[in-house]
Amino acid sequence: MKKKPLLWLMIITCIVLLFQVKNFMFVKYKVEGVSMDPTFTDGTELLINKFSPKLTKISRFDYVLFHGPKNQILIKRVIGLPGESIKYVDDQLFVNGVKWKEPYLKEQKKHKMGNVLTGDFQLKAITGQDKIKKNHYFVIGDNRIHSFDSRHFGTISKEQVVGVKRNQDE
């Protein structure tokens, strides 16, 4: 009989510990706005790993949750990594002069209203530098026409990153 209360205490303790670990390792984020449409629509709830940026490299096309201008929390897609030169020409991403495919934009490009989804730009015109600085990233929203991102405020530093959601689609 004495074993049952002890067993229940152990089960409850384990459940409480699991919730604490989850809260320590992950942050729940609710997408606000249309800047990541159609990948993440307004109101989408995401569980973001807070340890990824500290333990592993942030990769191209990962989603990062970060402190943006005016300390707002934003989520965007990484398209430029430290040491890279990036530009857009004729709706096409170039990294270090090499054309990159962005399959996640395929449907949007089919239904775009104007001539281009992503206007032409070069990193140097935005940041004044040819290459992305060490521990910095160029981030951009999937809804290119309605996104406030690195095209407006420049690169983000690794210190600004709250968490990472790995892109497993591409």
pTM: 0.83
> For 35-82, how does the pLDDT look when each residue is reduced to its tens digit (9 = 90+)?
999 899 999 998 888 766 666 789 999 999 999 988 899 999 999 999
- Specify the higher pLDDT residue, 16 or 128: 128
- All structural domains of the chain, each given as residue ranges with its CATH number in brackets, are 3-165 (2.10.109.10)
> For 144-157, how does the pLDDT look when each residue is reduced to its tens digit (9 = 90+)?
889 999 999 999 99
Active site residues: 35, 76
pLDDT of residue 1 exceeding 60: no
Chain-wide mean pLDDT for the chain?
A: 87
Per-residue pLDDT, 81: 97
Q: Are 49 and 25 in contact (CB under 8 A)?
A: yes
